[in-house]
Amino acid sequence: MSFINETHDINLKSWISSANVAGNDFPIQNLPFASFRRKGSSEEFRGGVAIGDQVLDLAVVADAGIFSGIAQEAVIAANAPALNEFMGMGKAHWSALRLALSKALREGSEQQSALESALVAQDDVEYALPCHIGDYTDFYTSIYHATAVGSLFRPDNPLLPNYKWVPIGYHGRASSIGVSGQSFPRPKGQTKAPDADVPSFGPAKRMDYELELGIYLGKGNELGDAISIEDAEDHVFGFCLFNDWSARDLQAWEYQPLGPFLAKNFASTVSPWIVTTEALAPYRTQWHRDENDPQPLDYLESSHNREAGAFDIQMDVLLESEKMRADGAAPSKLSESSFKHSYWTVAQMVTHHTVNGCNFIPGDMLGSGTQSGPEHEEAGSMLELSRGGKESIKLNNGEERKFLEDGDKVIMRGWCEANGFNRIGFGRVEGTVLPAK
């Protein structure tokens, strides 16, 4: 099955010149969605599409009436403070609007004059969450991360026996998810030192980030109905960058017997743009399971999932300290990894999540879990990079870290590249740790 269509053509150029600059995150082949308004204004947030260094205002597009059929229905729904209605329309509406936008934004488009007034510079806008996230489940799909963290918390039993059989996840806290630019106070909670008889209370000392992808659900399912692995991706609207902040010392004390709680629920940050599943078609790749590992049970297995169920989404992490900001120095790169290393695919996550009859609604989100690669420098958290706080991480300006300090800003970026196709990007997700209240 081919997912490639005319919207992915590398030869397409836009009449918006910034979209044609090499290395730009938002060429015409991308067209991601967000909720935006002009900075400092009292305007309603509304749907927008990134093109070059501009945002295409979908309110203007909807009012112009230049589209027809389900593409016009889709753009009217996307002209809202949150994209949930549009996301819930399903694959046919998503694809129709993408094609209509692609044609309207191409060089030589007859609709250029109607859309020139719909452009707002990205430098002049601010973002809200792109949709109302009703529920959020965080998965644990990197076997490299799971093994590394398990070896720190459970040296004698690092990878639990169910990991290779079942996509592991926990129910996260949707109310504390914020959009890029989020800042939050260092969380407080209980910790217990190895040599202490009783726990103590206070600010977390081992603040960390987690390099993840957020996966937005579109069309939902009824309570009691399962989504088959063959249909799973039809329910996935798109992807974002996701930083699932973690307090590792709180986590070490509380995580048994029920898993993450206060160590995770104080803040999580998403990038503003949702890159659609359709836009990611050229960057699909084969998914495989080592022949010596257990193979997925039948409900988690399909030929399509084997052939093209993985996505080669590159991601990296940078740290900007207060000193770097004061000195005007560039952030220091910490690591780089790819989602192609994931032990479980998006389709398997969706299918497993609903196999018991759990219902999704438009705007629900899945976290991929920390995306670490097979090499140490591909680790997606400071816990791994510092080997549990035993080794210092050297920054470009001479500073050192084992975990995050107050004032540290974490920046994550994502992009996709493939031979014969244009590079597309996710933009950035940024967040800053403030002192504890």
Task: Tell me how far CA of residue 162 lies from CA of 167, 168, 293, 296, 331, in angstroms.
Answer: 9, 8, 12, 12, 39
Least confident of 160-164, 305-309, 361-365: 160-164
List the structure tokens of 331: 């952030």
Looking at the domain 6-128, which fold is it? SH3 type barrels. (2.30.30)
Least confident of 42-46, 155-159, 301-305, 386-390: 155-159
Looking at the domain 136-434, which fold is it? Fumarylacetoacetate hydrolase; domain 2 (3.90.850)
Stretch 387-412: mean pLDDT: 97
The predicted pLDDT at position 304 comes to: 96
Q: What is the pLDDT of residues 313-371, one digit of tens each?
A: 999 999 999 999 999 999 999 999 999 999 999 999 999 999 999 999 999 999 999 99
The residue among 306, 288, 302 whose CA lies nearest residue 230 is 302
Q: What is the pLDDT of residues 14-39, one digit of tens each?
A: 999 999 999 999 999 999 999 999 99
Q: What percent of the chain has pLDDT over 90?
A: 95
Stretch 94-118: mean pLDDT: 97
The predicted pLDDT at position 1 comes to: 53
Q: Any residues with CB less than 8 A from the CB of 391 and at least 6 apart, and which?
A: 402
Q: How confident is the model at residue 262 (pLDDT cuts 50, 70, 90)?
A: very high
Stretch 185-194: mean pLDDT: 96
Q: Is the pLDDT of residue 237 over 90?
A: yes
Q: How confident is the model at residue 140 (pLDDT cuts 50, 70, 90)?
A: very high
- pTM value? 0.97
Q: What percent of the chain has pLDDT over 70?
A: 100
Catalytic residues: 145
Q: How confident is the model at residue 152 (pLDDT cuts 50, 70, 90)?
A: confident
Q: How confident is the model at residue 255 (pLDDT cuts 50, 70, 90)?
A: confident
Stretch 135-156: mean pLDDT: 91
Q: Is the pLDDT of residue 83 over 90?
A: yes
Over the chain, what is the mean pLDDT? 96
Q: Per-domain residue ranges for the chain?
A: 6-128, 136-434
